[in-house]
Amino acid sequence: MLRMVLPTGRIIKEAEIFLTRAGYAPAENLAATRKLLVPSKCGRLEYLLVKPVDAPLYVEQGVAECGISGKDVLMELAPDLLEPLDLGFAKCRMAVAGRPAIVRSLDNTLSPVRVASKFPRVARLHFEKRGIPSVVFKLSGSVEIGAVLGLAHYIVDIVETGTTLRENGLVVHEEIAACSARLVVNRAAFYTQNEVVNNLMADLRKALP
């Protein structure tokens, strides 16, 4: 039996549908249960349910052989693990957003641009690559208000439907990356449990959208 870590939160419903399609239906409704360990009905997987930002650590440390994680979280944490499959669901974009009127242009490198984000590493690297000095404030959520109230010139965040930006009067200024759910695998387990991992990957491939 392999253990697969799954992120609770907005990705879990789509993950459950995908895993069921692949033949690994969980024994309980993952979005509703308060259990942290749930087996699959087929008995070949055990699901471990944790906060999205913690998911890669369990795989990196070998507590779970594999897992599903959003590319946004993987970009931020840069964990040491394998990322063999783009699962094609939970699609969103990592973007630089802000008020529609430019309050601090993105081609001026004289003073630091102020940025608020749940993804401070992604934000820092993006502005570094663009050659723009930045000061990045790490927030834990509701990032949009940082740009609305002037804490920051811009936010770096994920945009899925665009509703949150629209309802707060913000727009996308730059796209950083396309994100989606990824299969992640522990480096050692990929080799020591190669056959089981390969079988799992073959089943998941067949269920790709």
Residues 3-42 that bind ligand PRP (CB under 6 A): 10
Distance, in Å, from the CA atom of 54 to the CA atom of 18, rounded to the nearest integer, reads 21
In the bound complex, what is the minimum distance in angstroms from residue 163's beta carbon to ligand PRP?
Answer: 4
Distance, in Å, from the CA atom of 60 to the CA atom of 76, rounded to the nearest integer, reads 15
Binder among 29, 105, 111, 142 for ligand PRP (CB under 6 A): 142
**Both tokens assigned to 125:** 């690297």
In the bound complex, what is the minimum distance in angstroms from residue 32's beta carbon to ligand PRP?
Answer: 19
**Both tokens assigned to 94:** 């990592």
Task: Give the binding-site size for ligand PRP (rule: CB under 6 A).
Answer: 13
- Does the protein bind ligand PRP through residue 162 (CB under 6 A)? yes
Distance, in Å, from the CA atom of 154 to the CA atom of 68, rounded to the nearest integer, reads 29
- Does the protein bind ligand PRP through residue 175 (CB under 6 A)? no
- Does the protein bind ligand PRP through residue 163 (CB under 6 A)? yes
Nearest to ligand PRP of 102, 171 (CB atom)? 171
Question: What residue spans of 69-193 are helical by DSSP H?
Answer: 71-77, 120-129, 144-148, 163-167, 187-192
Binder among 6, 77, 90, 159 for ligand PRP (CB under 6 A): 159
